[in-house]
Structure 1
Amino acid sequence: MSAFTTYQLPITGMTCASCAGRVERALGRVSGAADVSVNLATEHARVQAPAGSLPALLDAIRAAGYQVPLRTLELQIGGMTCASCAGRVERALNKVQGVQQVSVNLANERAHVELIASLDDATLIEAVQKAGYSASLPRNHANDAAAAQRRLRNERIAVVAAVLLALPLVLPMLVQPFGLHWMLPAWAQFVLATPVQFILGARFYVAAWKAVKAGAGNMDLLVALGTSAGYGLSLYQWANAHAGMEPHLYFEASAVVIALVLLGKYLESRAKRQTASAIRALEALRPERAVRLSEGREEDVAIGQLRLDDQVLVKPGERFPVDGLILDGHSHADEALISGESLPVPKQPGDSVTGGAINGEGRLIVQTQALGTETVLARIIRLVEDAQAAKAPIQKLVDRVSQVFVPAVLVLAVLTLVGWSLSGAPMDVALINAVAVLVIACPCALGLATPAAIMAGTGVAARHGILIKDAEALERAHAVNRVVFDKTGTLTSGAPRIVHSQAASGTLDDALRLAGALQRGSEHPLAKAMLEQCQAQQLDVPPVTDSQSLTGRGIAGRVTGRALALGNRRLLDESGLAPGQLADSAQAWEAEGRTLSWLIERGETPRLLALFAFGDSLKPGAQQAIQALQARHISSHLLTGDNRGSARVVAQALGIDDVYAEVLPADKAATVNRLKTDGVVAMVGDGINDAPALAAADIGIAMGGGTDVAMQAAGITLMRGDPRLVPAALDISRKTYAKIRQNLFWAFIYNLVGIPLAAFGYLNPVLAGAAMALSSVSVVSNALWLKTWKPAAPPSETP
């Protein structure tokens, strides 16, 4: 029968006694809930329910229309050495009343906790300490990096000392194959092995004792038991040796095992530090000071002193200290480490800049628009940290195995000892084989297999402008076989341009000049497209007079003394004109979904001068993205609210066969759900209207430059609006998932092969220690290969 817990839940949104009654009734319907009372004055609910009922209680409160304020907390955990340690910390935190969800990452030694906002941090820290580990609130990354560096230096010193002391003990074994038979006297072996066992190896005894007190087992317990057995057997053999006979001692086994384990942990720490290099690289982008302009004076101030709308001066070669808007100056910005964009981006007044990017050749004045945790860089770091803290679904298997791993190994070691003893083998042989079982069966590799790969994969993805929000998205993305694209702003630029034009009278350049003159001063997107075309063709645009807007039809004015008008088909009809020779072109362009503008000369005898067709231009790289997906046997689909003509044109240009046009925002999610029935679907979009479809898809991918709503709904965010990052995101997820599977394979193989070999006497403790150390190092090193990943070179774009 489940133990009952009394939950104290803060509730927001209650305004009257009926609200409190509604919450009380909702909580009373939760299975097992009893003694429910809701206090409107303190806005708290008190309820007794079975342990582990918190999620159900929170769901009941939300269903009633109210909320329990939640927050997330990160704790730095010390003393974890293997997967079973991470599991024990997780269970200890889950037992704390008010904790909803916990994820403990062995690779970065952090616990990510979702809890009720009113729960005190000290309660969680105390729970971890009672489980036998240390816990603290993370300091800033610079301090964490310095502490990690000191810890790494201390580990290196311990390894060097252990190797120097153990080497003379193992040297006779190494030279024996060359016909040299000699052995250090027993007292010398004792002198060399004792400091290794009890000084350099003290960490194993301390951690093992904490585990025993907490009623659990871990790697340290296995090492402490195994090496103590070897050391104790050596003392026994030495004490009971006959006079004049050299006893058979095992000091070298215990000392070498400890030295190898220390070496493995040191190499593992170094490798784990490299997996977190992406976070450190992003943190290093944050400048600590800025030059603020105040009443014409330049002030050197700390970043924390800046306020919104402050003006800061950024000199050539400096990093932008804030997110802001350029007020003065022209330059280029190197945003490679933020967006993954390899080429410097031109910047001019009115353009936005991102804190952490490097200013190029110009002196710029920037108005502050975001500070602290609201900057793009801070949000990127937060997303990467959250992704690295989260657990992939495949990790659940490892967690279940780690819970029973150490007890199972202890049983196997006892069975090995008993089995060899019953077979008639000497006690020292039986004991050494049992020691070998204890030493090789280290669960470290199991605990590191998944988080090390996720940290390396999400880190290298972030370097190339791909932000993976959670580990579940990373694991799912490897199986995607269908990608659904929104059109506007995703595959197309979202800004109209002139895609077709034809003159009916005079030259096309003259017609473009006249049309550009009519559009002077207008902010309409079509006007901007017209003027950009004039600028691109280096045409001189004459001035316009008597300019007037023709509501619902277009615009009119006088240019070089000629009365002109530019507008839609309604304007053409009102002028009493027919399309004439432009009729076929107009019909074809309308079928493509283009927006048509007719240039007319007004007067006593109106005449048609030209026809312009506007359309959305494809983004650079859109065709390459579709080709890259096709090369991976991933089908592409176009889902848009635009008309069928424009959707068909884009699909044909890109080679997309499956088109869903004129789909309302509310129906986009339903379309995605239908596609999911026989495939794993990724949805790519950038707007508010894409958010339901992004959430409905197996994987939502939000394009950079899109809305915050879209990015919130997506599991992956692309920092640049480059469609080529879509196949790149799927590629890094596949490679990361492959590394996870490889790591788990090797972690299990080491134990599946090593434990039987040790139990049957084919593996002495020294070799077992070497194999154990190698397993952890190989798993983390394998994950680090992901750091060499780069997006594949795209196929050349068809002109």
Structure 2
Amino acid sequence: MTALAEHPSRTPPPAAGRRRLSTLPETRWAGASLLAFLLGLAADLGGAPSWTWWALYLVCYASGGWEPALAGLRALREKTLDVDLLMIVAAIGAASIGQVRDGALLIVIFATSGALEAYATARTEDSVRGLLDLAPETAVRVRAGAEERVPATELRVDDEVLVRPGERVGADGEVVAGGGEVDESTITGEPLPAPKSPGDEVFAGTLNGSGSLRLRVTRDPGDSVIARIVAMVTEASEAKAPTQLFIEKVEQRYSAGIVVATLAVFGIPLLCGEPAPEALLRAMTFMIVASPCAVVLATMPPLLSAIANAGRRGVLVKSAVVLERLADVDRVALDKTGTLTEGVPRVAEVRPAPGQDEDELLALAAGAELLSEHPLGRAVVAAARDRGLPVPPAAEFRAEPGRGVAATVEGRRVEVTRPAEPTDAVGAVEATGRTAVVVRVDGEQAGVLGLSDRLRPDAAQAVAALRELTGTEPVLLTGDHERAARRIAAEAGLREVRAGLLPEHKVAAVRELGPRTLVLGDGVNDAPALAAAHTGVAMGGAGADLTLETADAVIVRDELAAAAKLVSLARRARALVRQNLIIASTFIAVLVVWDLVGELPLPLGVAGHEGSTVLVGLNGLRLLRPSAWR
């Protein structure tokens, strides 16, 4: 049987785009073969003329066997021996000694196994089609004030595109005019639409809401986030797992050995006086039960099913090799900013000076920062709005890079700056590992704001799960200063911290931790550590270039808890591979010994061989179930 490894894995498409089992050509051929067999069996057992049931059995042979026979002959032409060809030869051999019914049964079960395999393959192939369908075929390009609808593939960087309400975005770009909300669930997995205004980034394949957007294209369509994800999952099975490579290497020699052994099983009894029909029947039965179909199919279905299941949960695994590596992980190192934390600063505390009102202080600071583009300024404005405070307008705004901002707010001069000198309030804020920002009103210090990055909601749970999986203590590797790193580590439940690390120091730390270390990073400033690790998993977010290129796997939805689930899924896939190999080897050994020592009926040999093949295939597909991701 053709190994599933020949077919690339995909992440699942929308349910409406999946093909049904009944629509596959392999299923129709298998159905035709089964129907012809049942009609032939009825005619055979009913006492009809022999030519009628012979004709029906031949139809069964033709409908169920032409495709594997053609594939086997093509492989033979390339000087490789395919197990498909062995099955067809065995079925023909059975017919040549009058066992046409048993040969037809072999064809039916063989064709049914092929249909099930084709269905599993179709499930993965539908994924890329579903992803590609997300991006629209056309887009409205705006040039010199005129609109023209063009194929999306013709868009180029710096083109301006108009996206009307309800339309899908045709290319990755930046909003230059208009506003509204965009459904980005296809990229980030977030269920709520994201608000968009000038300066914000949007992605191809996302769905515009009620507002019109004018975009400047920032990436060629072939380099969009969706296109890169499609390319990555298309390549997922090209690098075959070591186990699969070993099996394929052994398969050719084993298949050739079966041919030689079959000739011996036929020839030796014949020379010892056994009648030719009995000797040939034993030899054909041996060829069937000794064929490594189940062994060939033991490896890739579990691995590709796991890759597909992970993709459905927003985790892109680049290859089956990566999945096997994930199963071997025994130590985990995590970055801080953008991995354990959300990577966005927030106001964690407000310390007004004596006699100052906390809300008034925050409102004045927000007014001064309203026109600022700095992340800390945006955090101050967001904190005021979260409290429901009115943000007053500012005049005479001035920003000083590396220092802060100043503006006139409600007739008072407000400065929001980095501390110029240590004070008790500044020291108290910085002692907690937060960034201190001083607010001055009319030249007097009115208070201090403490800003910090926010721990991901699932960080502590993810750390605990990784600790339990690996049996070792996860390590925090960060370039941040010691106090901030210790504070975040304590909130996440991490006991081992290495702070103040430059990229090269992170690489050295990863190598010190051991040869099977998993590194979790944001994929941008952690690229060297991700590349140096046994396995690198990136928090993908919107899919930064280095994230998709450097990491072995990408958590697109930025759910840190998915890392532990991915390692657990990889271990279950490895366990299923081992189960399959044991099942397949046991069936082959028992049936071969039975045929050589006793008298194994051909129908029972066929049922045992093909039954084991179907069993390992279905066992591997168990990882497609939603419950496998836990």
Task: From 247, 253, 256, give the equivalent of 1:398.
Answer: 247
Aligned-residue offset at 1:305: 3.5
The C-alpha deviation readout for 1:522-572, integer Å capped at 9, x for no partner, is 333333322222222232344556666678765556555555544444357
**Separation in structure 2 between the aligned mates of residue 550 and residue 338 of structure 1, nearest angstrom:** 37
**Separation in structure 1 between the aligned mates of residue 9 and residue 327 of structure 2, nearest angstrom:** 26
1:703 aligns with 2:539: yes
Aligned-residue offset at 1:660: 0.3
Q: CA 1:290 to 1:445, structure 2 compared with 1: closer, same or farther past 3 Å?
A: farther
Q: CA 1:187 to 1:439, structure 2 compared with 1: closer, same or farther past 3 Å?
A: same
Deviates more, 1:651-660 or 1:300-309: 300-309
The equivalent residue for 2:556 is: 719
**Separation in structure 2 between the aligned mates of residue 171 and residue 769 of structure 1, nearest angstrom:** 20
1:694 aligns with 2:614: no
The equivalent residue for 1:118 is: none
The C-alpha deviation readout for 1:713-761, integer Å capped at 9, x for no partner, is 2111122333233223323323333333333333333322332233344
Aligned-residue offset at 1:762: 4.5
The equivalent residue for 2:622 is: 785
1:531 aligns with 2:381: yes
Task: From 67, 74, 94, give the equivalent of 1:230.
Answer: 94
Aligned residues of 1:276 and 1:456 also touching (Cα < 8 A)? no
| 2:527 aligned partner, one-letter code | A
Aligned-residue offset at 1:651: 0.4
Aligned-residue offset at 1:435: 1.2
The equivalent residue for 2:38 is: 167
1:684 aligns with 2:545: no
SS in 1 for 2:328: coil
Aligned-residue offset at 1:438: 1.5
The equivalent residue for 2:156 is: 307
Q: CA 1:785 to 1:291, structure 2 compared with 1: closer, same or farther past 3 Å?
A: farther
Percent identity, please. 33
**Separation in structure 1 between the aligned mates of residue 159 and residue 212 of structure 2, nearest angstrom:** 17
Task: From 95, 105, 125, give the equivalent of 1:276.
Answer: 125
1:494 aligns with 2:343: yes
Aligned-residue offset at 1:434: 1.5
Task: From 188, 195, 213, give the equivalent of 1:364.
Answer: 213
**Separation in structure 2 between the aligned mates of residue 169 and residue 306 of structure 1, nearest angstrom:** 60
The equivalent residue for 2:326 is: 477
1:599 aligns with 2:456: no
Aligned residues of 1:323 and 1:376 also touching (Cα < 8 A)? yes
| 2:434 aligned partner, one-letter code | R
Aligned-residue offset at 1:473: 1.4
The equivalent residue for 1:506 is: 356
Aligned residues of 1:253 and 1:766 also touching (Cα < 8 A)? yes
Aligned residues of 1:684 and 1:703 also touching (Cα < 8 A)? yes
**Separation in structure 1 between the aligned mates of residue 561 and residue 518 of structure 2, nearest angstrom:** 14
Higher relative contact order (CA 8 A, sep 6+): 2
Matches within 5 A, 1:560-599: 560-562=410-412, 565-570=415-420, 579=423, 583=424, 585-599=425-439
Across the aligned residues of Structure 1 and Structure 2, the Cα RMSD in angstroms comes to 3.5
For structure 1, list consecutive stretches of 5 or more residues without a partner in the other structure: 1-80, 87-104, 111-140, 176-181, 235-249, 573-578, 794-799
**Separation in structure 2 between the aligned mates of residue 647 and residue 327 of structure 1, nearest angstrom:** 38
Q: CA 1:730 to 1:539, structure 2 compared with 1: closer, same or farther past 3 Å?
A: same
Aligned-residue offset at 1:669: 0.5
Aligned residues of 2:19 and 2:123 also touching (Cα < 8 A)? no
| 1:82 aligned partner, one-letter code | T
**Separation in structure 2 between the aligned mates of residue 569 and residue 211 of structure 1, nearest angstrom:** 74
For structure 2, list consecutive stretches of 5 or more residues without a partner in the other structure: none
Total equivalences in the alignment = 622
Aligned-residue offset at 1:223: 2.5
Aligned-residue offset at 1:619: 2.9
| 1:221 aligned partner, one-letter code | L
Which structure: larger Rg?
1
SS in 2 for 1:259: helix
| 1:387 aligned partner, one-letter code | A
Aligned residues of 1:388 and 1:454 also touching (Cα < 8 A)? no
| 1:702 aligned partner, one-letter code | A
Aligned residues of 2:352 and 2:358 also touching (Cα < 8 A)? yes
**Separation in structure 1 between the aligned mates of residue 629 and residue 100 of structure 2, nearest angstrom:** 53
The equivalent residue for 2:188 is: 339
1:661 aligns with 2:493: no
The equivalent residue for 2:608 is: 771
Aligned-residue offset at 1:449: 2.9
SS in 1 for 2:158: coil
Deviates more, 1:467-476 or 1:211-220: 211-220
**Separation in structure 2 between the aligned mates of residue 267 and residue 432 of structure 1, nearest angstrom:** 28
**Separation in structure 1 between the aligned mates of residue 62 and residue 627 of structure 2, nearest angstrom:** 47
The C-alpha deviation readout for 1:440-498, integer Å capped at 9, x for no partner, is 33333333333333332222322222111222211111222322111112222333222
Task: From 611, 614, 626, give the equivalent of 2:451.
Answer: 614
Matches within 5 A, 1:429-508: 429-504=278-353, 505-508=355-358
Q: CA 1:283 to 1:634, structure 2 compared with 1: closer, same or farther past 3 Å?
A: farther
Aligned-residue offset at 1:378: 0.9
Aligned residues of 1:170 and 1:256 also touching (Cα < 8 A)? no
Q: CA 1:460 to 1:417, structure 2 compared with 1: closer, same or farther past 3 Å?
A: same
The C-alpha deviation readout for 1:498-517, integer Å capped at 9, x for no partner, is 22222222211222233334
Aligned residues of 2:7 and 2:237 also touching (Cα < 8 A)? no
The C-alpha deviation readout for 1:247-292, integer Å capped at 9, x for no partner, is xxx2212232223323332332223222333222212223222333
TM-score (normalizing by structure 2):
0.87
Matches within 5 A, 1:745-756: 745-756=582-593
Aligned-residue offset at 1:422: 6.9
Aligned residues of 2:21 and 2:119 also touching (Cα < 8 A)? no
Matches within 5 A, 1:370-385: 370-385=219-234
1:515 aligns with 2:365: yes
Matches within 5 A, 1:728-743: 728-743=565-580
Task: From 75, 81, 87, give the equivalent of 1:217.
Answer: 81
| 1:359 aligned partner, one-letter code | N
Task: From 671, 689, 701, give the equivalent of 2:509.
Answer: 671
Aligned residues of 1:480 and 1:634 also touching (Cα < 8 A)? no
